[in-house]
Amino acid sequence: MPAVPGAQVGGVLGIRTLADTEALGPRLADARQVVVIGAGFIGLEFAAVAAARGLAVQVLELGPRAMARAVSPHTSAVFEAAHRAAGVQLHLAEGVAELLGDEHGQVRAVRTASGRLLPADLVVYGIGVLPNDELARTAGLAVDNGVRVDGQLRSSDAAISAVGDLASFHSPWASAQQPWVRLESVQNAVDQAKLVAARLAGQPLPDYDALPWFWTDQGVLKLQIAGLSDPQDETVVLGDTLGSATAPAFSVLCLRGGRLAAV
Q: Which residues bind ligand FAD (CB under 6 A)?
A: 15-16, 42, 132, 135, 164-166, 184-187, 189, 214-215
Which residue's Cβ has the minimum distance to ligand FAD? 164
We find the least distance from the C-beta atom of residue 194 to ligand FAD, in angstroms, to be: 13
Nearer Cβ to ligand FAD (109/162)? 162
The H or E element containing residue 93 is none
We find the least distance from the C-beta atom of residue 191 to ligand FAD, in angstroms, to be: 11
Secondary structure in 3-state letters for 145-182: CCEECCCCCECCCCCCECCHHHEEEECCCCCCCCCEEC
Phi then psi dihedrals of residue 243, to 5 deg: -70, -150
Measured at the alpha carbon of residue 52, what is the angle toward residues 47 and 54, in degrees to the nearest 5?
100
Measured at the alpha carbon of residue 175, what is the angle toward residues 169 and 178, in degrees to the nearest 5?
55
Give the whole-angstrom CA distance, residue 225 versus residue 229. Answer: 9
- CB of 1 within 8 A of CB of 12? yes
We find the least distance from the C-beta atom of residue 116 to ligand FAD, in angstroms, to be: 27
We find the least distance from the C-beta atom of residue 42 to ligand FAD, in angstroms, to be: 5
We find the least distance from the C-beta atom of residue 81 to ligand FAD, in angstroms, to be: 22
Nearer Cβ to ligand FAD (189/237)? 189
Nearer Cβ to ligand FAD (164/227)? 164
Nearer Cβ to ligand FAD (59/109)? 59
Nearer Cβ to ligand FAD (109/228)? 228
